[in-house]
Structure 1
Amino acid sequence: MEKKYWEDKEYAYFSHKKCEYFPCHKGADPEDFNCLFCYCPLYALGDKCGGNFKYNEKGFKDCTNCQLPHKKKNYGYVTGKYQELAAMMQKVREADHKNENE
């Protein structure tokens, strides 16, 4: 099986083992914990992020049980969602622009 372009690349994985919160998710494997996406860039995708989350009583995503962005193998998945994020932000900008002109 052919490797993905990012596999075994230093830029695709960073583990900050000296961090006071490492690993920040209970039950995570410290040997396979990627800190590169410390704050998940997929949060804004809501229920389309693909992670293991739930909504709390205030309507916010609770990602406590999600390790999707912290697994070494998921770098490609996370970066593969950037076009979807960009499209979503474009819709937001267009809606804001429309509201400004009303």
Structure 2
Amino acid sequence: MKKEGFDFFQNRACEYFPCHKGVADEDFNCLFCYCPLYLLGDECGGNFEYLPNGIKNCSNCTLPHCREGYAHVMNKYLLIAERIRKKPRCMEA
């Protein structure tokens, strides 16, 4: 995959780098340090689990941190926008 310059970032000075196992250090992308897909719940496409208390645990997910992850996240942005779009007051129930 060709790097465009805006689709890959590393912060090797971070005390947690790399924060997930399963991606080679040279391919580890820190761009989405906090995953924007978290709010999509089970529609994010990543490897997650729900803990007994209902919290989504993404510690086994490398999707936003691999080189292909940028394209996946960008392809989900319309769904994210749909979820957070504010409805006009006249449409609220």
TM-superposed deviation, 1:94: 2.5
In the TM superposition, what are the counterparts of 1:2-41 in structure 2 within 5 Å? Answer: 7-41=2-36
Aligned residues: 91
* Residue deviations 1:11-55 (CA, integer Å, cap 9, x gap): 100011111000001343211100000000000000000000000
Aligned twin of 1:47: 42
Alignment of 1:88 onto 2:83: yes
Aligned partners of 2:71 and 2:21: how far apart in 1?
23
Where do 5+ consecutive residues of structure 2 fail to align? none
Match of 1:61 among 33, 56, 63: 56
Aligned partners of 1:29 and 1:58: how far apart in 2?
32
Aligned partners of 2:17 and 2:60: how far apart in 1?
15
Q: Segments of 4+ in structure 1 off by > 2 A? A: none
User: Based on CA coordinates, which of the two structures has the bigger radius of gyration?
Assistant: 1
Aligned partners of 1:27 and 1:53: how far apart in 2?
14
3-state DSSP class of the match of 1:72? coil
Q: Which TM-score applies when normalising by structure 2? A: 0.89
3-state DSSP class of the match of 1:11? coil
Aligned twin of 1:70: 65
RMSD: 1.6
Counting helix residues as a fraction of each chain, which structure ranks higher?
1
Structure 1 vs Structure 2: percent identity of aligned residues? Answer: 49
